[in-house]
Amino acid sequence: MLYSFDIFDTILYRTVPNSTDIFLLMEQKPEVKALWKNQNSFVEVRRKAEFWLRRRSTTEISIEDIYGEIGKKYNLSKDVQKQLVTLELATEKENSFLHAKAVNKIKNLQSKGKNVILLSDMYWHEAEVRDLLSSKDPIFSNVPIYVSCDYGATKKNRKLYEIVSKELNVPYVDWKHYGDNVKSDYNNAKSLGIEAVHTKRPQRYHYERHLPLSIQGKALYGLISQVRENSNGPEYDLGASFAAPMVYQYVLWVIEQAGAKGINKLYFVLRDGYILKKVADVIIQNRELDIKTEYLFGSRVAWRFPEVTIDSLKNLSVWDKSNWIFRDPAYAYVPFERMGFEKEELESILGKTFCEQEYHSFADFKAGLDEALANSVICDQLEENIKTAGENMSAYLVQALDENSNYALVDTNSTGKTQRDLDRYIETHNLPIRKLRFFYHTFLSDEAANSETQFIFLDAKEQDRRFPEALFRAPYNPCYGYEKDGDKVKPKFFNGKYCAWNYSFSYDNYLKGIVDFTDAIEKSKKKYDLDSYVDVLMKVANFDIVSDDEVQQVARLPFNPDMNGEEILDFYPEIHAKNLTHPFTELIYFPKGSYFRAGGIWPGIYKALDEMVKLKRKSKK
């Protein structure tokens, strides 16, 4: 039985999104700059030379043919051509790695005495391919290699299979071939009677094929591609490829800031700080830093509620949607739970009919709130709830925060309202709590921001980065306040069965992808262009670069609450033609991603609606 393996994208992976990126990396080498004196881009010249040579040639081309073509057009000597060939092979070596599973399969077959060969449609000769592979594992020093340019025949036209069959005297029925190309490695092999196995290509998202990045950015993609070799599925890939660079970039900044400011303890605010701490712990351990980390339970509900007054609730503006108590849509009792009422308690005062009302808009919520506040029993109980919430919050924060350490709180995004309410409460009640905090992104205005206590990784005026908040959070329900538990105070959680991630998404694999990326980048000790790379990711997140595979993957994350507040709906809920028959107000509640998920004319509809909303808001000012 003969076992054959394709080479590129089967047993050998490149660490660049596109094969032509090798030419970009090559162009940056001082040796190439010294040889290439032409004003034309070397990358474009190299790419076009191969393209047009293939168009004209009736047989397979070689690397010498390609550089011979370039030499003729740009007057390069044979010696310069040879040096460029050597430099290209060296660049291939530097920017590729073996696929461990495929190599292990080859080693296992060889250990059993099986006949193993390699087949490739490639312009490199057998000696060059062997040199490339052997530089990574000596097992390839003696494996027979059949390369198309040496035989003037390809797998693509099936002739390379025919030549090997005759040369080795192996009938097709006694042959098993592994390869990633559907046509050349699977369909063509199968049509001859060979047992063909279609192997999975390295994961590449659509946006990764068009990364307009620096050389350092390309190197970061290389690191990600190697991490993904250990993929446990799409969730792992999403974590390693998309979320991890954002998380790492921010957490590294926090740790560097902490070191510069003499901070020796970081409290990561849950839920949104859950993954941040996991990443921080890996960085701290790898760098052997003297910084401790802990979690701190908090939320908009828990920290803003103690500053609420009856008058402030009565005067809520339609443009000031107090999203810590209102979720759209929801049954009436859901937002009142955030204000300390049990469902049964609310029913006993206002009746079951009130609790089962559906809120489809802020106007619905405001009407229900006004109805409730017209009841003196509700108002009295609400004031008591506010007082108790404040006392418990104070006790929890004093209990949880180590006053003997120089600590700071770490969170993701903030509108500024929660922080102002919390600071005001700390000052009013003279709590021994430091106000030092780090944020990923914030909407804090200039007058509200206090540079001495709040440090912002990225200001909203520079770029909108609200999206990552959804990817950083914990896999459980949020804290909505605190309650006494003997001599201690503990956080209270919503009692929902489902929360974000906790539905059909493999959170463990997602988190593993992020942690594996962090460990890999820390151990590599190389300098990477994180800023440029994350800028591209944010363009994907904001749909400035549309990557359908990424949109579809993120779209299906269970995130949004249903009518009961259970977080089981898609991150970007599906939108359908029937939604066009509903009022304008329904469509504007769909997130931007829903329109791009639907595709077709929907992105255009979103742009039109967005302009209408902007005009409407402008007219309200």
Asked whether residue 145 falls in the same domain as residue 68, the answer is: yes
Band of residue 66 on the pLDDT scale cut at 50, 70, 90: very high
Element (H, E) at 270: strand 265-270
Vertex 213: Cα angle to 210 and 219 (nearest 5) = 105
Range with top average pLDDT, 64-68, 213-217, 613-617 = 64-68
Distance of CA 559 to the CA centre of its chain: 15
Contact 1, 174 (CB under 8 A): yes
Question: Which 3 state secondary structure label does DSSP give 547?
Answer: coil
Contact 289, 259 (CB under 8 A): yes
Q: State the pTM of this model.
A: 0.85
Residue 545 in any domain: the answer is no
Asked whether residue 380 falls in the same domain as residue 431, the answer is: no
The span from the CA of 515 to the CA of 550, in Å, is 20
Residue 98 in any domain: the answer is yes
Asked whether residue 59 falls in the same domain as residue 132, the answer is: yes
Contact 249, 275 (CB under 8 A): no
Q: Any bridge partners for residue 490, and if so which?
A: 483
Least confident range from 342-356, 429-443, 446-460: namely 446-460
Residue 144 in any domain: the answer is yes
Q: Which of 326, 357, 389 is the last residue of a domain?
A: 389
CATH number of the domain at 440, please: 3.40.50
Q: How many CB atoms lie within 10 A of CB 320?
A: 11
Q: Is the pLDDT of residue 203 over 90?
A: no
The span from the CA of 95 to the CA of 93, in Å, is 6
pLDDT digits (tens, 9 = 90+) for 287-298: 999 999 999 999
Parent domain of 585: 572-621
CATH number of the domain at 149, please: 3.40.50.1000
Which pLDDT belongs to residue 447? 46
Q: For the residues of 62-118, what is the DSSP string, one character each?
A: -HHHHHHHHHHHHT--HHHHHHHHHHHHHHHHHTEEE-HHHHHHHHHHHHTT-EEEE
pLDDT digits (tens, 9 = 90+) for 127-170: 999 999 999 999 999 999 999 999 999 999 999 999 999 999 99
The dihedrals phi and psi of 290, each to the nearest 5 degrees, come to: -95, 65
Contact 598, 551 (CB under 8 A): no
Please indicate whether residue 584 or residue 609 has the higher confidence score (pLDDT).
609
Selection from 236, 230, 231, 272 nearest residue 251 by Cα: 272
How long a stretch of residues is the chain?
Answer: 621
HEC sequence for 34-52: HHCCCCCCHHHHHHHHHHH
Asked whether residue 67 falls in the same domain as residue 168, the answer is: yes
Contact 563, 331 (CB under 8 A): yes
The span from the CA of 401 to the CA of 263, in Å, is 14
Residue 169 in any domain: the answer is yes
The dihedrals phi and psi of 388, each to the nearest 5 degrees, come to: -65, -40
Describe the strand order of the beta sheet including 175-179 as a list of residue ranges: 145-147, 115-120, 2-6, 175-179, 195-198
Asked whether residue 233 falls in the same domain as residue 154, the answer is: no
The span from the CA of 11 to the CA of 248, in Å, is 30
Q: Is the pLDDT of residue 372 over 80?
A: yes
pLDDT digits (tens, 9 = 90+) for 393-444: 999 999 999 988 999 999 988 777 788 888 888 998 898 998 888 888 876 5
Asked whether residue 243 falls in the same domain as residue 177, the answer is: no
Residue 399 in any domain: the answer is no
Asked whether residue 516 falls in the same domain as residue 439, the answer is: yes
Asked whether residue 440 falls in the same domain as residue 499, the answer is: yes
Residue 401 in any domain: the answer is no
Asked whether residue 169 falls in the same domain as residue 44, the answer is: yes
Alpha helices in 261-360 (DSSP H): 274-287, 300-304, 310-314, 333-337, 343-350, 352-355
Distant-in-sequence contacts of 276-281, Cβ < 8 A, 24+ apart: 276/247, 276/250, 276/251, 276/410, 276/412, 276/472, 277/410, 278/511, 278/514, 278/515, 279/244, 279/247, 279/248, 279/251, 279/514, 279/515, 279/518, 280/251, 280/254, 280/255, 280/410
Asked whether residue 215 falls in the same domain as residue 79, the answer is: no
Residue 550 in any domain: the answer is no
Q: Which of 532, 564, 595 is the last residue of a domain?
A: 532
Asked whether residue 427 falls in the same domain as residue 278, the answer is: yes
Asked whether residue 215 falls in the same domain as residue 164, the answer is: no
Total domains in the fold of the chain: 4
Q: Which of 150, 178, 206 is the last residue of a domain?
A: 206
* DSSP designation for 254: H
HEC sequence for 345-386: HHHHHHCHHHHCCEECCHHHHHHHHHHHHCCHHHHHHHHHHH
Residue 33 in any domain: the answer is yes
The span from the CA of 209 to the CA of 218, in Å, is 11
* DSSP designation for 341: -
pLDDT digits (tens, 9 = 90+) for 297-347: 998 889 988 988 999 888 887 655 555 666 655 788 888 888 888 889 999
pLDDT digits (tens, 9 = 90+) for 226-254: 999 888 888 999 999 999 999 999 999 99
Q: Two tokens at 57?
A: 């040639």
Q: Two tokens at 408?
A: 């700071």
Which pLDDT belongs to residue 316? 82
The span from the CA of 494 to the CA of 496, in Å, is 6
